[in-house]
Amino acid sequence: MDISEDEGLSVNFTRRIETARFGLFIFQVGVDEREAAMPLQRVADAQERFLSAPLYQVASLLEQEVLVGSIFSTNTIEGGTLTEAETKDALTLDPAKVQAVEQRRAVNIKTAYDIARKSAQDPGWRLSVNFIKQIHAVITDGIPHKHNRPGRIRNNPKSIVTYVGDTAHGGRYKPPQYEGDIALLLDHLTTWHDELIAAEIPALIRAPLIHYYFELIHPFWDGNGRVGRVLEATVLHADGFRYAPFAMARYYMERIDQYFTLFNLCRKQADKKTAYPNTPFVLFHLDGMLTGINRLHDRVNVMVQIMLFETRIKQLRDTKKINPRQYAILTQVMERDQPFRIDELRRAPWYEALYAKLGGKTRQRDLSGLREQALLYIDGEGLVRPGFLRSG
């Protein structure tokens, strides 16, 4: 093993590991600090704005939304077939009673996230091989696979060769095949991460690097992508990023081709000894964090608007400034995630039941009253929204 310090982002620690069978494996920061400086600042600024929002009012709702979206996204990246709604339903099941494999995948990821969040809240937490194995064990628990054993490092027989990637995303890569090499590299990965912490390399740089090199080591038969994204999120969570690390999975899913291609691009640049070979993946990650934090900020604003609107219409109902029918209309409209046509509202069974013994003029008067008070908005295309989303 050789450790050197190169020019680059702060101190660019490079670990050169000679393995028994795989050959030379190199860990390096490999990030151009000039290119990373502005994205790092933008993420820091966005995080500061986000933390200034009234999170305490909506924290539990936001956490649940992020959890469902992240589990759906990271599972989909690896071929999961549950929809986001089905994922949400699966998470309400008793883990001990889950039978379907697809539901098990979702429940396992939630368990891994719970462990990650709890671990990251410990000021003394450090990335370790045991932690990596623990995350893998829960992610692949009960998931059928011919070779995989939860928490056990891969050890390929001569008859089976593991490859990662495909030609559509930059080519195939042959990671270490021998258990001894994999174990050695995982041990060095965690030690290297400790050195980066000591050198004050920002978590926003460390997290994608751990993700990237973990995937190059590819230590398990199954679940490597899911484990790698959990490790990345844990490093960020330990540094104070509470929601955005888990929201990164959606960003990766939405840009899945770029995500997979960048692993190969950075690997090939390192092979060619290109300066700062890991810059593209780290910049991609920073853009994802910025996108995720801004999305979360926008969502918090909407959630707070909803809470204020709900309080307002209850007060209007209680003071008889709107009638029970109008209140029922508003609550039903607010339950819809998307605008919908006024004709759909008028045909809804619950709406028809409200006016079963009343005439058309009463219907019209109720709707007009809601619009006049800016409680209900119907645009030029006949789409209905709650009043506070008039410009949505």
**2 near 16, Cβ under 8 Å?**
yes
Residues 83-141 have pLDDT tens digits of: 999 999 999 988 888 889 999 999 999 999 999 999 999 999 999 999 999 999 999 99
Q: Which amino acid is at 103?
A: Q
pLDDT of residue 2: 47
Ramachandran region, residue 172 (left: φ > 0; alpha: ψ -120 to 50; beta: rest) = beta
Q: What are all long-range contacts of 85-92, with beta carbons under 8 Å and residues at least 24 apart?
A: 91/67
pLDDT of residue 1: 44
| CA gap 284, 287 in Å, rounded | 5
pLDDT of residue 182: 98
Consecutive H or E run containing 245: helix 244-254
pLDDT of residue 3: 42
pLDDT of residue 131: 98
- Indicate the burial class of 50 (C-beta count within 10 angstroms; 0-12, 13-18, 19 or more): buried
pLDDT of residue 9: 52
pLDDT of residue 21: 97
Length of the chain in terms of residues written: 392
Domains parsed from the chain with CATH numbers: 2-299 (1.10.3290.10), 322-389 (1.10.10.10)
Spans of the chain, pLDDT less than 70: 1-12, 390-392
3-state secondary structure of 4: strand
Residues 21-48 have pLDDT tens digits of: 999 999 999 999 999 999 999 999 999 9
In the chain the beta strands, taken as DSSP E runs, fall at: 2-6, 12-18, 24-28, 340-341, 376-378, 383-386
**12 near 27, Cβ under 8 Å?**
no
- Indicate the burial class of 123 (C-beta count within 10 angstroms; 0-12, 13-18, 19 or more): exposed
Considering the entire predicted model, what is its pTM?
Answer: 0.89
Of 203, 197, 260, 192, which is closest to residue 234 (Cα–Cα)?
Answer: 203
pLDDT of residue 12: 59
